[in-house]
Structure 1
Amino acid sequence: MLFYLLSLFFFLSPSPQPVHSLNQEAQTLLRVKLALSDPNRALSTWTNRSDSPCNNWFGVECDPTTRRVNSLDLSNSNLAGPFPSQLCNLTSLAHLSLSNNFISAALPAAALRRCAALRRLDLSENLLVGPLPAALPRLLPNLIHLDLSGNNFSGDVPPSFAAFPALRRLSLVDNLLDGPLPAFLSNVTTLTQLNLSYNPFRLGELPPEFGNLTNLRVMWLAGCNLVGSVPDSVSQLGNLVDLDLSNNGLTGRIPEAIAGLGSVVQIELYNNSLDGELPGNLANLTKLRRFDVSSNRLVGRIPEGLCELELESLNLYENGFEGELPGSIARSRNLVELRLFGNRLRGELPSELGRNSELRMIDVSMNRFSGRIPGGLRVWELGEVAVEEQFAFRGGSAGVWGLPRVYLLELMGNEFTGGISMEIGKASNLSVLLISNNKFSGRIPDEIGSLDAMVEFSAADNRLTGSIPPALVKLVQLGRLDLRRNKLSGEIPSGVRRLRNLNELILSDNEFTGGIPAELGSLPALNYLDLSNNQFSGEIPVELQNLKLNQFNFSNNRLFGQVPPLYDVQVYRDSLVGNPGLCGNLLGPCSTRDESKSWSYLWFLRSIFILAALVLVLGSLWFYLKYRSIKKGDCNNDLPSKWTLTSFHKLGFSEYDILDCLDEDNVIGSGASGKVYKAVLSNGETVAVKKLKGGIPGKEDGNGVVEKGRVADDDGFEAEVITLGKIRHKNIVKLLCCCTTRDSKLLIYEYMPNGSLADLLHSKKGGLLDWPTRYKIAVDAAEGLSYLHHDCVPPIVHRDVKSNNILLDEEFGAKVADFGVAKAVDQVGQGAKTMSVIAGSCGYIAPERHIQLRRGNSRACDRKAPDRSEYGEKDLVKWVSITLNQKEIDHIIDPNLGSYHKEEICKVLNIGLLCTNPVPTNRPSMRNVVKLLLEAHVENKPKNAKDTKDSKLSSTCHQEGTLDQESMV
């Protein structure tokens, strides 16, 4: 009976579902999946729903006959963890790529023993550390391609690497290999590519043995600490296509033997110390297209044979070349780039230059050319024209004005004549126009007002006449206007308030008349105003007190009346002289005939007022000192009685007003350096006070006040504080004053009611930061840094720019703060000493400063930040790059921003990637960053389809994680 019931139950129960039987390779890959962190779910198709990984598993390819895995490509997948040793259980695996991930720890040589079938292994752009496994040639005898670039391998290249039996491509670029350059690699005669660039190898010569690599097509040894001369054995590399020995310390002449490279297409020898003349037999390099020997010590004439080649790029700048530019260069049909600046070339440029080629970039500045700009320039579609500081470049310049693609037109320091043509209106992409120190005459045409992208216009020291065209106020992106020393007249046009990005306005030494427009006082960015040596009349508008001027000059005009109180101080005296009608505390009392009768009475009243004020002050001081002597509290018990106040602005309070507010109830932050107080003063003003103790402040917590770093040295502290106190810029937090005693220091700043950017981004108030607000904050911060880098004397490098140090006012205007680790860049060569210590938060200073403390200073310091997440500490720059490679832009953009501004967000993101370029010299200056950010605004769209295609900023996010610098600046 029981058997019957069991049987009945068996037949009535539902049939079991079919279960796929996973083959051995699928099980292996699932174990690999479990061993790796996969935040982007790149391996989501690796499941047990399919019995074989050959059925559309991501990155997997199989042999069509054996149905076994022979290729696995998991590059750019944001995978993290140690090298997955289980992969070597795939016995037919011939191609493995884990490039551009976060594979960390050491490379396990023992595990690779089972990977003997591998022919291609690519582990580039990961976080692998330790020495290179010496056993690799023995464990992977079939390897033909090995790429370990962009990791942190250190030590020597193992001599065993000379035993690779079939290796064709070896790339170890950008690691920390610091042994001798491996000359023994010359034994791997199968090599076609040898890439060892940017490793700190021990100083040494280029091994002559490398001449034995006769199959070599690519040899990259840039930045390898090479010294000595280029050996003649290089001529044996007859198959070489690309030779890069740049950024080394090579000396001596370029050997004649280099002409033996009959297949070479590109030669890069820039940034060395090569001397002598160029070889005369370079004409033998018939396939040469790109030749760069810039920044050396080469002399002599440019060989005619070199210019007869079908070159695409010729870079000879910053050498000592002499004589004329060979006329044969004009016959080059492929020439795109010609850079010759910083030599001693003379004569005329070939008249046909550029007429038959696609020339896009020309810079022949800082030479001694003469004659005229060649007529062939009319048909050039140039991005940049620079003929600056040529001692005798004369004649007309009609061919340069209307170039539709030019964004930089630099003609300074020549003898150009004629006028600025109305054709300038066709240069729709023009951002920088520099024509100072010439003999240009005539009027500035109205058409200049149509150049929407114009950022700088400098036409000083010419013979321009007429008035400033009213259309010029349409240039809302204009940051610098310099028209000094011309013969311009008339009044400053109305509507100047529209120039809200104007930073410098220099109109000195002209014949301008009329009054100084009060609307100048509404320009938030203006900090340099020079109207001296003109015929301006009337009073100085009190509205100019709204400006944060770092420098101004109104001298030698016809101004009269009371000097505004802010400028009626001794430091500005020289900026006001030569105006007999001006009056005030500095220039004498403002008296008239009607006032003279009552002068005695007014003086009497003034004396009474001064006496009463003096009595009040003395009485208040006595009362305060008496009050302090009996008051008990933590706030003031530890403060000495004698304070020294150093003010940098006109103050409406004293040090005693500040001391009264140092109460525990007013603390808004604290750190290793002391406490931060919010001080509401008796006059209604609110300031932020940072009380430093012990002489060595620590790190600020981002509560709205700036300053950290070493201040134990009183002289150094005072020098730095005085430097910062002189800064006047709308995007720099204002240091009002400092109060010091022997053992305490108070720094008093303007109060920023919205705190730091970090506070808002990482709090519930983050919803207040929509994209337009974030974009404005980015532009404000960039303009502040640009001012520090380019307009301060000496320049200041911040070195700790981060969201905690970007403070926000009541209208979310951004100001750069916290200069405790900032240093002035000494322009006479002593900056290296002040920059020789690590300063700033880890992750926010340039990695080359943090890792290797390389020589010299750089203003491209703040580049990448770590992110501590559930997957450990990550490099955000690398993460963004990898994510973009996967076209996963939505994983990067804050979802709270929506999609309406996606185009503009992508442009700004690309600018950020450019600023984090791993090569410091490829990062743009902050002045260019400001320009790029302004161009990124969606209102700055190209005017037609062609411009859209050629736009310098792509409207979509870059898919390779980096930017081509020449497409940006």
Structure 2
Amino acid sequence: MGSAGAFVTPLLLVLVVVNGGVALNQDGLYLLEAKRALTVPTAALADWDPRDATPCNWTGVSCDGGAGGAVTAISIQGVNLAGSFPEAFCRLPRLASINLYSNYIGPNLTSAAVARCKALRRLDLSMNALVGPLPDALAELPELVYLNLESNNFSGPIPESFGRFKKLESLSLVYNLLDGHVPAFFGGVSTLRELNLSYNPFAPGPVPAELGNLNALRVLWLAGCNLVGSIPASLGKLRNLTDLDLSTNALTGSIPTEVTGLTSVVQIELYNNSLTGPIPRGFGKLAELRGIDFAMNRFDGAIPDDLFEAPKLESVHLYANSLTGHVPESVARAASLSELRLFANRLNGTLPADLGKVTPLVCIDLSDNSITGKIPPSICDRGELEELLMLDNMLSGRLPDGLGRCRRLRRVRLSNNRLDGDVPAAVWGLPHISLLELNNNQLTGEISPVISGAANLSKLVLSNNRLNGSIPPEIGLASKLYEFSADGNMLSGPLPGSLGGLTELGRLVLQNNLLTGQLLQGIQSWKKLSELNLANNGFTGPIPAELGDLPVLNYLDLSGNRLTGEVPMQLENLKLNQFNVSNNQLSGPLPPQYATEGYRSSFLGNPGLCGDIARLCANSQRGSRFHSGFVWMMRSIFIFAAVVLVAGIAWFYWKYRSFNNAKLSSDHSKWTLKSFHKLSFSEYEILDCLDEDNVIGSGASGKVYKAVLSNGEVVAVKKLWGLKKDVGNGGEASTADNSFEAEVKTLGKIRHKNIVKLWCSCTHDDCKLLVYEYMPNGSLGDVLHSSKAGLLDWLTRYKIALDAAEGLSYLHHDCVPAIVHRDVKSNNILLDAEFGARVADFGVAKVVEATLRDPKSMSVIAGSCGYIAPEYAYTLRVNEKSDIYSFGVVLLELVTGRLPVDPEFGEKDLVKWVCSTIDQKGVEHVLDSKLDMIFKEEINRVLNIGLLCTSSLPINRPAMRRVVKMLQEARAEARQRLEKDGKLSPYYREDASDRGSSV
């Protein structure tokens, strides 16, 4: 109906009659107008039927119950509505509540759109796609009580008009892009009961002291607001305050004692600041206090004795400070305390002897302190304990027998202490325990057969104790066991055959024990085993050939045993990063894959193996030297002829090439090849193809050659630039070294159809080569942004998008630990002969687990211009959300055909250009004109997915697994719509929509 709808005469509206003379009332007509202004999924709002008399039974619509059926509330949540906020809603004269949570409303919310909602009391537009400044007109709505705009992309300062709300009680602007300072004028909105401004990139500024004037305030959340300075004492005047959250800022100074006067407070969160000094006394007198989180600050001194006297106190987080002294005796009298986390401090002394007798502890973490003495025997008397974490202390004595009665225990971590004695038998069989970590103590005794009852045990770490006896066969009943590490003990006897049936087993580490007998046969169930270490035991007999059938095994150490027989040829099926069978009694020839210098150390100490280890591949090396000499002679003749025929600059060019090729080809025996798949070629064939005439690309990390091998196979070889520094003298490893290690560690263990295959690596001194499968159509960027773009119709582009999404989803969700690519771009998406896509170039990839342990590992900018997520502006941390942003840019490239940065955009990049162009001219002005618009609906859906992935706020970006699903849904819904309209393209019919497994 558009803007003209306001001028339609009442008579005309009354005469809108459908099906038998039933007329929809005025409120219903306004709602239909609003629906037409939005993009609505087919299944959503299907019951908004114009044949009804009133809209009161429509989905998401509430009425006042009167005869006229006046609409009072609209609640349409999470149905993927898209488009601007419908002004027609505000024509409903009695509309008091609008809830459009979790849709795609956007991009703008203007003052004009909301100014007429005079009766509105509640407005919830959280988790949408709104951008731009906050509308001033919101503060002019006279009845507005509740306003929730969180998880959008509003930017700019909070307008001064927001200090003039008349009745506002709750305001939430969390997770936007607001700047300026946290405004002091909120101190004048006397009706406020809840103020939540958390997680906005405000300019550094103080906590406004004026907020202490809000006598009615119950909730004050200012987490992640870039606050600096001290906590104002005026906050102590907020006698009605129940929740105070100033966490994740840069606050300094001490906690003002006035804060202990917050008599109604339930929760205080000050974690992740730079607060100092001792924790003040007085919190124990707060009658309603349930939770305190002062973690990750610089507090020192002792924990106040009265802290645990607060009668309702349930949770105390003081970890990662510099607290000293004992754990107060009063903690044992805290009748409500369920969670106590004091790890990473400097606490010492012994624990209260009766801790746990009265306290209903669920989780206790005292790790990384200097606590001595015994674990209190009453620690689990209340029977609620689920997590017992006391690693890295100086605890001694036996494990309490009471732990065996702790039936809810899920995680026990007591490593790196001085515990001794036998482990209580019942502990082995706790029904819910998933992690039992007792390594690096002085524990004795045997692993009890009651371990059969540990139905949820996933990780059993017993390394470096004094455990003895045999491994019980009942361990095979712990069906979820992923890791069994018991190295450095005195375990004896054979391995129980039941181990071979553990289908979830990923790590089996039993080196440095007294185990005997033959290695297990019947291990076909070990489909997830990646590490097997049985070194330095007394195993005899042959190496089982079936080890070669384990699909993901990449660490195998059987050294230091008494194994006999030959090295099975089946081991060539493995892609091993670590392989060691040295110091056994093996004999016979080696499998050809391992008969190279690169594996010399893997076979030492086996006198009967291949005669003499020093001559592992003597014959092949002689052949190699002959081949190398012949090749060098022919190339020398060629170079000499070139020198004679070409003068000047050409002479220098050929001279350089002869030197370069000589360096690569000479002394082939010194090259080390590490394969990750079964190879049908040798490193010598690869070296012979590294000719400048075969160069097909060059980038920041190296030069890429096309190598056509003697068997007709084609591979791509990347030669990394040699920028090596003197690491031994304090220099850092070179870019080439880092890139090489990242590629090998990442691609060496990945098996996925949408990630480029790394065949092998070759190294010699400072020269490093990576050999990949060859992708004949090059990169997506090269094709899309060249004269070849016509080859990429929409169906091909969609296929490329889905292939790349599935590859990234595998990295993020199926790799353990997850992998962040860090340089997703169209030039790193390669295309095979049928334009299937592979994600490539992992030179800056990072394992997420490693980055969590060492945040500095992400402190270097990685990525390419136009693809880098905007959070780099205020942090150098990179996670999966950064990859998702970059992939969103790739989707926009596919839809628009535009480069990520273009002089035509001015100071904008592709993301900003798309958003502004859609806003000003409409979506049709950003779509690639080369695309067939029969697919317009599907193209638009992919465009929306790209915009969602490139949200400025990381929390708004969907996970890659969700992106894959959305892309599949976009195709399915578009097909369904075209089929319904009788316009289904024959190309769609031929397209294989039902894609197989990604792995």
Does TM, normalized by the shorter one, top 0.5?
yes
- Mapping for residues 878-957 of structure 1, pairs under 5 Å: 892=966, 894-895=968-969
- RMSD (Å), alpha carbons: 5.0
The one of 800, 803, 826 aligned to 2:823 = 800
Write out per-residue CA displacement over residues 732-769 of structure 1, whole angstroms, 9 at most, x where no aligned residue.
Answer: 85375689999x99864344799999999985598999
The AA in structure 2 aligned to 1:296 is N
The one of 622, 632, 635 aligned to 1:621 = 635
8 Å Cα contact 1:570/1:586 also seen in 2: no
Q: CA deviation at 1:57?
A: 6.1
8 Å Cα contact 1:394/1:414 also seen in 2: no
1:734 aligned onto 2:753 = no
- Mapping for residues 450-849 of structure 1, pairs under 5 Å: 450-583=477-610, 586-588=613-615, 616-622=630-636, 624-625=638-639, 640-643=657-660, 644-645=663-664, 648-649=672-673, 651-659=683-691, 662=694, 678-689=706-717, 716-720=734-738, 723=741, 727=745, 729-731=748-750, 733-734=757-758, 736=760, 748-751=771-774, 786=817, 798-800=821-823, 817-822=840-845, 835-840=858-863, 848=871
Counterpart CA distance in 2 for 1:827 and 1:43 is 46
Partner of 2:474: 447
Write out per-residue CA displacement over residues 125-170 of structure 1, whole angstroms, 9 at most, x where no aligned residue.
Answer: 11111110111132x2111111111111111122221110211111
Counterpart CA distance in 2 for 1:859 and 1:615 is 50
8 Å Cα contact 1:54/1:69 also seen in 2: no
The AA in structure 1 aligned to 2:522 is G
Residue 393 and residue 672 in structure 1: after superposition, are their counterparts in 2 closer, same or farther (change >3 A)? closer
8 Å Cα contact 1:784/1:815 also seen in 2: no
Write out per-residue CA displacement over residues 277-324 of structure 1, whole angstroms, 9 at most, x where no aligned residue.
Answer: 111112430011111111111121111222311212111111122222
Counterpart CA distance in 2 for 1:828 and 1:897 is 36
8 Å Cα contact 2:439/2:464 also seen in 1: yes
In structure 1, the residue corresponding to 2:562 is in which secondary structure?
coil
8 Å Cα contact 1:395/1:415 also seen in 2: no
Partner of 1:308: 333
The one of 341, 345, 348 aligned to 1:319 = 345
Counterpart CA distance in 2 for 1:714 and 1:413 is 33
1:294 aligned onto 2:368 = no
Q: CA deviation at 1:101?
A: 1.2
1:215 aligned onto 2:240 = yes
1:261 aligned onto 2:291 = no
The one of 181, 191, 211 aligned to 2:207 = 181
In structure 2, the residue corresponding to 1:248 is in which secondary structure?
coil
Q: CA deviation at 1:466?
A: 0.6
The AA in structure 1 aligned to 2:748 is H
In structure 2, the residue corresponding to 1:875 is in which secondary structure?
helix
Q: CA deviation at 1:510?
A: 0.9
The one of 376, 380, 385 aligned to 1:354 = 380
Partner of 1:165: 190
- Mapping for residues 951-966 of structure 1, pairs under 5 Å: none
Counterpart CA distance in 2 for 1:381 and 1:606 is 62
8 Å Cα contact 2:282/2:306 also seen in 1: no
In structure 1, the residue corresponding to 2:499 is in which secondary structure?
helix
8 Å Cα contact 2:174/2:198 also seen in 1: yes
Counterpart CA distance in 1 for 2:531 and 2:296 is 35
8 Å Cα contact 1:569/1:586 also seen in 2: no
Partner of 1:852: 874
Q: CA deviation at 1:547?
A: 2.7
Residue 530 and residue 753 in structure 1: after superposition, are their counterparts in 2 closer, same or farther (change >3 A)? farther
Counterpart CA distance in 1 for 2:793 and 2:408 is 44
Q: CA deviation at 1:88?
A: 3.1
Partner of 1:58: 60
State the TM-score, normalizing by the size of structure 2. 0.72
The one of 194, 198, 201 aligned to 2:220 = 194
8 Å Cα contact 2:758/2:773 also seen in 1: yes
Counterpart CA distance in 2 for 1:243 and 1:829 is 26
Counterpart CA distance in 2 for 1:847 and 1:511 is 57
Counterpart CA distance in 1 for 2:827 and 2:625 is 48
In structure 1, the residue corresponding to 2:223 is in which secondary structure?
coil
Percent of pairs identical after alignment? Answer: 37
Q: CA deviation at 1:525?
A: 2.2
8 Å Cα contact 2:445/2:466 also seen in 1: yes
Aligned length: 834
Q: CA deviation at 1:61?
A: 5.5
Q: CA deviation at 1:87?
A: 3.2
Counterpart CA distance in 2 for 1:425 and 1:830 is 34
Partner of 1:905: none
Counterpart CA distance in 1 for 2:694 and 2:147 is 64
Q: CA deviation at 1:831?
A: 8.0
In structure 2, the residue corresponding to 1:400 is in which secondary structure?
helix
The one of 282, 286, 307 aligned to 2:307 = 282
Residue 611 and residue 54 in structure 1: after superposition, are their counterparts in 2 closer, same or farther (change >3 A)? closer
Counterpart CA distance in 1 for 2:765 and 2:155 is 50
The one of 131, 139, 146 aligned to 1:120 = 146
In structure 1, the residue corresponding to 2:120 is in which secondary structure?
coil
The AA in structure 2 aligned to 1:734 is L
Counterpart CA distance in 2 for 1:412 and 1:724 is 30
1:155 aligned onto 2:175 = no
8 Å Cα contact 2:45/2:58 also seen in 1: no
In structure 2, the residue corresponding to 1:274 is in which secondary structure?
strand
The AA in structure 1 aligned to 2:284 is A
8 Å Cα contact 2:476/2:502 also seen in 1: yes
Write out per-residue CA displacement over residues 175-213 of structure 1, whole angstroms, 9 at most, x where no aligned residue.
Answer: 112232222111112101101111222x21111110011
Partner of 1:431: 458
Residue 322 and residue 857 in structure 1: after superposition, are their counterparts in 2 closer, same or farther (change >3 A)? farther
State the TM-score, normalizing by the size of structure 1. 0.74
Counterpart CA distance in 1 for 2:822 and 2:280 is 43
Residue 807 and residue 405 in structure 1: after superposition, are their counterparts in 2 closer, same or farther (change >3 A)? farther
Write out per-residue CA displacement over residues 30-51 of structure 1, whole angstroms, 9 at most, x where no aligned residue.
Answer: 6665665555785666676667
The one of 327, 331, 340 aligned to 2:357 = 331
Show structure 1 runs of 5+ residues with no match.
Answer: 1-13, 592-602, 697-712, 790-796, 900-936, 938-969
Write out per-residue CA displacement over residues 839-879 of structure 1, whole angstroms, 9 at most, x where no aligned residue.
Answer: 2258987764x24124x787996465536444485234989
8 Å Cα contact 2:421/2:445 also seen in 1: no
8 Å Cα contact 2:109/2:134 also seen in 1: yes
Counterpart CA distance in 2 for 1:174 and 1:838 is 23
Q: CA deviation at 1:617?
A: 3.5
Q: CA deviation at 1:402?
A: 1.1
In structure 1, the residue corresponding to 2:284 is in which secondary structure?
helix
In structure 1, the residue corresponding to 2:488 is in which secondary structure?
coil
Counterpart CA distance in 2 for 1:451 and 1:847 is 46
Partner of 2:908: none
Partner of 1:874: 947
Counterpart CA distance in 2 for 1:74 and 1:161 is 26
8 Å Cα contact 1:686/1:751 also seen in 2: yes
The AA in structure 2 aligned to 1:653 is E
Residue 89 and residue 770 in structure 1: after superposition, are their counterparts in 2 closer, same or farther (change >3 A)? closer
8 Å Cα contact 2:489/2:512 also seen in 1: yes
- Mapping for residues 242-257 of structure 1, pairs under 5 Å: 242-257=267-282
The AA in structure 2 aligned to 1:730 is K
Q: CA deviation at 1:692?
A: 9.1
